[in-house]
Amino acid sequence: MEFSKSAVHANNISVYQKMAKLGQLPDDGEYWTLMHPDSDELETLESKKFLKRHQFHGVNDDHDLYQKCLKNWPEIERQSHLDDWIWVVSTHIICPRGGLVHLDTMTEYDRVRPGASTMTVATLRNCGPNTLVAANFCYSRPLHGHDEIGLRRFVERVNEYSTGKERSRFEYLAGNELLYVSHSTQMLLLYFWVKDQ
C-alpha cells in the first residue's frame, strides 16, 4: 500500500510513544535523520508537537543537497552534519543521547542491502539509552537489480554484525513493521529499541 512519508513519521512517533511512555521527545532528547531538502519531515514532526527544531539533527553527504537543506531550515545548521552517516554516528559523542532515529536507506543505491544493515548497526552501537531506531530498507522491487532479502535476513544481519554485548543493549520490536511503497519500491520499516542501561 502507498504511504506518504507523513504517515511513516506518524507511525514512528506512535512506536516511540509506546516504548518511551512519553508523548514527545524529552527536553534533552534528539531526533536524527538522513535529511533531504524535499522532505517535510521536520515540519511534520514539529506540527505534531513531537520535537523542537533544536532537537533535529540532519545528516547528508551530498554537498549540494546539504546546502539546500540549510537554505530551507537555517536554524538547524548547528546540529547538522555534511558527511557519511556511519562516520557521523561513530564519531559523534553518543548519537543520539536518547530519542528517535529515522534511518531511511532507500537512497543507498548500490550498497542499499548491506549498507542498510551496517548503517543500522552503527546507529545502534552509538545510541544512548531509550532511543528508538526506525530503519527501513528495500523489501522488493529493489533499486539497481539487488536480490530481495527478507525481514528475517535483515534482522539476522543486524545481529551478525553486532557483538554479544551490543546485542544485549537493544531489542528488535517484532510486530511493529510497516510495509509501504515509495517510488515504486516496496519498503519495509522496522524498529529497534535501545534499552535503558
What percentage of the chain reaches a pLDDT higher than 90?
Answer: 46
Three-state SS for 122? helix
| DSSP β-bridge partners for residue 170 | 194
Helix (H) or strand (E) holding 18: helix 5-20
DSSP code string of 144-167: GGPPP--HHHHHHHHHHTS-HHHH
pLDDT at 102: 93
Average pLDDT score over the chain = 84
Angle at 117 between CA 50 and CA 40, to 5 degrees: 30
Q: Is the pLDDT of residue 2 over 70?
A: no
Stretch among 8-22, 72-86, 100-114, 145-159 having the lowest mean pLDDT? 100-114
User: Stretch 5-17: mean pLDDT, rounded?
Assistant: 90
Domain ranges of the chain: 31-194
- pLDDT recorded at residue 179: 80
Cell 512519508: give the residue.
5
* Joined grid coordinates for residue 127: 545510541
141 falls in which pLDDT band (50, 70, 90)? low
Prediction pTM value: 0.88
Q: Is the pLDDT at 53 greater than 80, yes or no?
A: yes
The pLDDT assigned to 19 comes to: 95
| 75 CB neighbour count, 10 Å cutoff | 11
Q: What is the mean pLDDT of residues 48-67?
A: 94
Euclidean distance between CA atoms 14 and 149, whole angstroms: 26
Q: What integer pLDDT is reported at residue 111 of this predicted model?
A: 44
Is the pLDDT confidence value at 9 over 70?
yes
Q: Is 129 exposed, middle or buried (0-12, 13-18, 19+ CB in 10 A)?
A: middle
Pick the CATH number of 31-194 from 3.30.450.20, 3.40.50.360, 1.20.1440.230, 3.40.50.150: 3.40.50.150
Q: What is the pLDDT of residue 26?
A: 93
Whole-number pLDDT of residue 112:
42
Instruction: Round to whole Å and give the CA distance between 52 and 45.
Output: 9
| Residue 138 pLDDT greater than 80, yes or no | no
Cα–Cα distance between 35 and 59 in angstroms, integer?
6
Q: How many residues does the chain have?
A: 197
Q: What pLDDT is attached to residue 106?
A: 63
Asked if 169 and 197 count as a contact pair (C-beta separation under 8 A), the reply is: yes
Greatest mean pLDDT range, 142-146, 149-153, 175-179: 175-179
Positive/negative CA dihedral, 38, 185, 127, 26? positive
